[in-house]
Amino acid sequence: MFDPSKLTEMLNGIQEKAKEFQEQNKNKIYTSKSGGGLISVSMNGSGEVVDLNIDSSLLEDKESLQILLISAINDAYHNVDENKKSDALNMLNGFNLFGQS
């Protein structure tokens, strides 16, 4: 028989766990490099750029700089996104959503 109080309890637990993951992600740093390390971009788990390093040799070549910067940012963001997905799956697996033992 369906027990609404159990559903509410489970949803509250998921919400609390999600808040914990968000706080933990703020402290995680994901760094991506492109151009053999000429550009390095670091993002926190919230997707905010927290550090950017550009080798001075690229300052004369705007087109290469743009391409490598876009590549590094996209790669770092992809890492953040994949971590969020993984954390969400792990969180949901911790809850017995379908009553399986």
pLDDT in tens, 39-76: 999 999 888 999 999 999 999 999 999 999 999 999 99
CB-based contact 31:20 (threshold 8 Å): no
Whether the predicted pLDDT of 97 surpasses 70: no
Assign domain 25-93 to its CATH superfamily: Nucleoid-associated protein YbaB-like domain (3.30.1310.10)
> 22: pLDDT confidence band, cut at 50, 70 and 90?
confident
Model pLDDT, residue 101: 47
Q: Label residue 52 exposed, middle or buried (CB < 10 Å: 0-12, 13-18, 19+).
A: middle
